[in-house]
């Protein structure tokens, strides 16, 4: 394969791999990822993938559930694309070798919070994301037009004459900074959960792709909407390991330190209310009882069922001295997913020509103010394919300017400064977290502005800048909706705030309407 590709894809999660597979039908594709190929948010997706494939489900019901969870800010056109095209792409994935759990010969569907039907497919109980990555990498390796390059961190996008024409990246074999040019670039680098000190996200989720797109001139939208997963393992000596939504879907009960179930006191849907409601219920109960965590109880369920249904969670908890079948799990909320990101139409086109986005890095409006459980893997699959198809359809000319000679690069200058990273994470968790207040966010913005302009390396500035953008969007939206809760503006205000936030370099934050209006 020639070293000069037609298309560049950044990220090797579900969105990036699906985009690469689509693009490989029409040209040479190189996939760059900053860590190993199977290290992405996709790999850590436990619960499953939502898709209207079961006999008792309907497309319109899945659409309705998604719109309700999105709290009035979903782009309905994007939601319809996701749900209507989802079955086709899941079926295709099965044809490529993905092995979902079955009951006999039939696919096994389960239910998660805010879903009106059993529509969640899972693999090996609670390793669905891992199965996505395994089957998609295996399929991609069969395609001669795809080159997968691990440990190749991208520094920035190359923009010429108002168009993205390539990227600068670190050669994984040598300490060299190289340029790579192509007809189009697809960013599928995932989310930014590492902006917060308490997160279920892996260490790679530092928002590099979002920051890169912003610096190149692309518009960002809805960064104020951050989903806090209600049930992360809350042990002092353990990582914030995700205890899947599916645990509550299968009958798990939230209890306080007195052993009393409390979720129904905050919402009639109890444990199956949308994630933002359950997360705030846990925080409210912690505050009421003066405790640092609540408990998730599955001890009333059959032990063999729990072990077979959640083998990865069961094994991980055992490593920390907890038996899911006998012990109540200490839990508290942690950052899980960013609904906002690089503004995109339903074909993955950003506002910068030549730059396409897919997956959590993007904002199509499909999730609105709060993502419906298990819609994320489906989003990566559907919109990854659509972004690849759009890059082909746009038929952008190959860049004519020759690539620059590689230059020596100090790897230490790219790494996140640990002190700054830690300070940003603490600021975001304490002042731009689950419950937000204007004065605290203003204080955070002032310090983040200083951190973002300090003479440190580019990646650390990007990290601080993205945190500042998120805090500014949260301060700008003076209402509570979905994952964004303002204690000083506790009600939803459709009359004023039925709009999306928009942020672009060189401009003040402003509002925009439907994200797919230019589609």
Please give the radius of gyration of the chain, using alpha carbons only, rounded to the nearest integer: 22
pLDDT < 70 stretches in the chain: 1-3, 36-47, 125-126, 401-402, 455, 514, 516-519
Phi, psi of 279 (to 5 degrees): -60, -45
Question: How many whole angstroms from its chain centre is CA 320?
Answer: 27
Please classify residue 193 by burial: count the beta carbons closer than 10 Å to its beta carbon, then call 0-12 exposed, 13-18 middle and 19+ buried: buried
In this prediction, residue 3 carries a pLDDT of 59
Query: Interior CA angle at 362 toward 172 and 420, to 5°?
Result: 60
Helical segments of 236-332, H only: 245-249, 275-289, 303-309, 311-319
CA 296, CA 329: separation in Å to the nearest integer?
5
Question: Does residue 501 contact residue 473 with C-beta atoms inside 8 Å?
Answer: yes
Of 204, 191, 242, 301, nearest to 46 (Cα)? 242
In this prediction, residue 412 carries a pLDDT of 77
For residue 353, give the 3-state DSSP assignment. coil
Q: What angle, 0 to 180 degrees and rounded to 10, lies between the N-to-C axes of helices 376-394 and 76-95?
A: 90
CA 368, CA 359: separation in Å to the nearest integer?
14
State yes or no: is 275 an active-site residue.
Answer: yes
Pull the structure tokens for residue 206: 């530092």
CA dist list (Å): 309 to 273, 334, 377 = 22, 23, 19
Token pair 């995109």 is found at 344
In this prediction, residue 511 carries a pLDDT of 95
Pull the structure tokens for residue 241: 């390991």
Global confidence as pTM: 0.92
In this prediction, residue 243 carries a pLDDT of 92
Of 421, 443, 418, 417, nearest to 432 (Cα)? 443
Q: List strands edge to edge, sheet with 341-343.
A: 362-363, 341-343, 220-221, 500-503, 510-512
Question: Does residue 277 contact residue 485 with C-beta atoms inside 8 Å?
Answer: no
For residue 502, give the 3-state DSSP assignment. strand
CA 293, CA 409: separation in Å to the nearest integer?
45
In this prediction, residue 519 carries a pLDDT of 45
CA dist list (Å): 471 to 125, 224, 363, 429, 437 = 37, 7, 17, 11, 11
Greatest Cα-to-Cα distance within the chain, rounded to the nearest angstrom: 69
Token pair 């599916």 is found at 246
Of 404, 401, 476, 408, nearest to 438 (Cα)? 476
Of 215, 239, 245, nearest to 227 (Cα)? 245
Of 170, 147, 226, nearest to 428 (Cα)? 226
Listed in order, strand segments (DSSP E) in 109-211 are: 109-110, 120-121, 146-149, 154-160, 163-170, 176-181, 184-187
CA 453, CA 420: separation in Å to the nearest integer?
12
Which position among 28, 275, 459, 461 bears the catalytic label? 275
Of 115, 127, 114, 148, nearest to 17 (Cα)? 148
Listed in order, strand segments (DSSP E) in 268-390 are: 294-297, 329-338, 341-343, 355-357, 362-363
CA 241, CA 317: separation in Å to the nearest integer?
9
Query: Interior CA angle at 487 toward 507 and 368, to 5°?
Result: 55
User: pLDDT per residue over 50-82, tens digit each?
Assistant: 999 999 999 999 999 999 999 999 999 999 999
Q: List strands edge to edge, sheet with 109-110.
A: 49-50, 120-121, 109-110
Strand partners, 106: 103
Q: β-strand 362-363 against 341-343: which pairing, if any?
A: parallel
CA 138, CA 93: separation in Å to the nearest integer?
11
Token pair 């192509």 is found at 182
Of 171, 178, 141, 164, nearest to 24 (Cα)? 141
DSSP 207-261: -HHHHHHHHHT--EE-TT-EEEEEEEE--TTS---B--HHHHHTT-EEE-TTS-B
Phi, psi of 67 (to 5 degrees): -65, -40
Q: β-strand 341-343 against 294-297: which pairing, if any?
A: unpaired
Question: For the chain, which domains are there?
Answer: 7-191+339-394 (3.50.50.60), 229-334 (3.90.700.10), 410-500 (1.20.58.100)
Question: Does residue 224 contact residue 26 with C-beta atoms inside 8 Å?
Answer: no
Token pair 């319809």 is found at 80
In this prediction, residue 350 carries a pLDDT of 98
């Amino acid at each position: 394969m020639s070293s000069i590709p037609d298309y560049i894809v950044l990220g090797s999660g579900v969105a990036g791999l699906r985009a690469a597979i689509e693009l490989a039908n029409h040209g040479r594709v190189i996939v760059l990822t900053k860590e190993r190929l199977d290290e992405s948010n996709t790999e850590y997706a436990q619960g499953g993938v939502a898709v209207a494939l079961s006999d008792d489900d309907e497309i319109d019901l899945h659409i309705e559930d998604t719109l309700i969870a999105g709290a009035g800010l979903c782009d309905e056109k994007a939601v319809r694309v996701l749900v209507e095209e989802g079955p086709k792409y899941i079926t295709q994935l099965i044809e490529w070798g993905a092995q979902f759990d079955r009951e006999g010969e039939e696919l096994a569907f389960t239910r998660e919070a805010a879903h009106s039907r059993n529509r969640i497919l899972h693999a090996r109980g609670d390793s669905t994301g891992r199965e996505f990555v395994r089957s998609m990498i295996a399929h991609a390796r069969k395609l001669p037009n795809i080159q997968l390059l691990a440990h190749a961190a991208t520094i920035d996008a190359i923009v010429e004459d108002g168009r993205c024409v390539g990227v600068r990246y670190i050669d994984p074999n040598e300490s060299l900074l190289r340029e790579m040019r192509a007809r189009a670039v697809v960013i599928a680098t995932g989310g930014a959960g590492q902006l917060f000190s308490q997160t279920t996200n892996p260490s790679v989720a530092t928002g590099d792709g979002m920051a890169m797109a912003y610096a190149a001139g692309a518009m960002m939208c809805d960064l104020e909407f951050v989903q806090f997963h209600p049930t992360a393992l809350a042990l002092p000596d353990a990582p914030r390991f995700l205890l899947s939504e599916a645990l509550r879907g299968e009958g798990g009960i939230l209890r306080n330190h007195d052993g009393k179930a409390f979720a129904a006191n905050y919402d009639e849907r109890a444990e199956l209310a949308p994630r933002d409601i359950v997360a705030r219920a846990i925080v409210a109960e912690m505050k009421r009882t003066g405790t640092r965590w609540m408990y998730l109880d599955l001890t009333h369920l059959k032990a063999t069922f729990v072990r077979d249904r959640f083998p990865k969670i069961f094994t991980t908890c055992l490593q920390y001295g907890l038996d899911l079948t006998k012990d109540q799990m200490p839990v508290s909320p942690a950052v899980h997913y960013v609904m906002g990101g690089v503004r995109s139409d339903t074909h993955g086109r950003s506002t910068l020509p030549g730059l396409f986005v897919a997956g959590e890095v993007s904002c199509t409006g499909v999730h609105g103010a709060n993502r419906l459980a298990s819609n994320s893997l489906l989003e990566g699959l559907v919109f990854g394919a659509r972004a690849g198809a759009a890059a082909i359809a746009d038929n952008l000319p190959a860049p004519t300017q020759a690539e620059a000679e590689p230059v020596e690069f100090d790897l230490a200058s790219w790494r996140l400064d640990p002190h700054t990273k830690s300070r940003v994470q603490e600021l975001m968790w304490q002042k731009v977290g689950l419950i937000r207040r204007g004065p605290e966010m203003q204080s955070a913005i002032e310090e983040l502005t200083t951190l973002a302009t300090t003479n440190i390396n580019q990646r650390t500035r990007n990290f601080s800048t993205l945190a500042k953008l998120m805090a500014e969007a949260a301060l700008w939206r003076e209402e509570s909706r979905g994952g964004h809760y303002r204690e000083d503006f506790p009600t939803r205000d459709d009359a004023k705030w039925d709009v999306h936030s928009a942020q672009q370099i060189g401009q003040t934050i402003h509002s925009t309407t439907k994200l797919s209006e230019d589609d």
